[in-house]
Each structure stands twice: as structure tokens, then as C-alpha cells.
Amino acid sequence: MRLYFYLLAALVVFVFAQCNTIKSIPTNTSGGLFSLNGNWQLITSSENRAMEGTIVTVVPGVDNATVRTLNNNTYCVRERDVLWRSIKPMESGTFTIDNLINACQGNVIYRPATLTVLTNDEVRVTGTNTYSTELIQTWRRVASPQ
């Protein structure tokens, strides 16, 4: 009888694992080797040091990165705003995101960007700014902000 229940449980797990709903649950990992989960601090930006020092947090199972602390805030972003949204893993070592590039004057502007894994503790976001010129940001993994 126990064997029957184990087999039934295994079958249920197998069926749900094949389900598209389960497969579309957001993950912040790339090929199972890298995880975006954690805290990331902006260390360089091609846009006049805008937002350098800001820390965002990516939480497991959520496809967004929210602002934890702000620095050099020329984008009018507030703490707890979503800076990266719709994080989707692509090929090994890359993600697509919608990057918040401006929240001034009540207008929240996101632009598509690519997040590329440089090392386990460093990523680069490449996209465009509000003037449609190239924006390159380098983020480093950090401990939880105080």
C-alpha cells in the first residue's frame, strides 16, 4: 500500500513538472549555475555616475529587483521602486530586463536591457537611457544593506 502512495505521489509531481504553469514560474537563475538572488550595488555607470552606490535586491521566485538604498539619485527613483522588472533568463549568462531609467515628474520610464553575467559577483546591464544613447552599468553583489 505504501508503494502505491509513493508511486502516485511521484506521478503527480511528474505531471505538474510538465505543466506550463510550473515551467513559467519566474526564476532568477541562468542554466542552474548562476543566481541573481541577493543584493547588488551599482559600481559604475556610463551616465555621469547616475545612481552609483544604489543597492537593489532580487528575491527568489520574483522577477523584479527592488531598490533598497539610493545614492546619486538623478532618476527620481524612490526606495522600494522596481528598478529591474520582468527578469527573464536567456542563453547561458544573460537575462532580459525592463530597466527603470527615469521616474521624474510622475513619469515612470522603463527600457528593455540585457543583463550579462561577468562573474558570480558582477553583472553588466546594457540598454539605453532617456535620450536613447547607450547606457552601461556594472553591478557588484554585496551583503545585505544596513
Nearest-angstrom CA–CA distance, 111 and 97: 8
| Cell reading at 35 | 543566481
The pLDDT, as a whole number, for residue 106 is: 80
The pLDDT, as a whole number, for residue 34 is: 82
The pLDDT, as a whole number, for residue 144 is: 75
Write down the CATH number for the domain with range 26-142. Answer: 2.40.128
Confidence of residue 105 (pLDDT cuts 50, 70, 90): confident
Greatest alpha-carbon pair distance for the chain in Å reads 68
- Choice between 64 and 107, residue whose per-residue pLDDT is larger: 64
Nearest-angstrom CA–CA distance, 76 and 60: 27
pLDDT tens, 70-98? 999 999 999 999 999 999 998 778 999 99
Q: Count the helix, strand and coil residues of the chain and give each as a percent rounded to the nearest 5.
A: 15, 45, 40
pLDDT tens, 92-103? 789 999 999 999
> Given a cut of 90, is residue 1 above it in pLDDT?
no
The pLDDT, as a whole number, for residue 35 is: 87
pLDDT tens, 15-66? 444 444 333 434 455 555 788 999 999 999 999 999 999 999 999 888 899 9
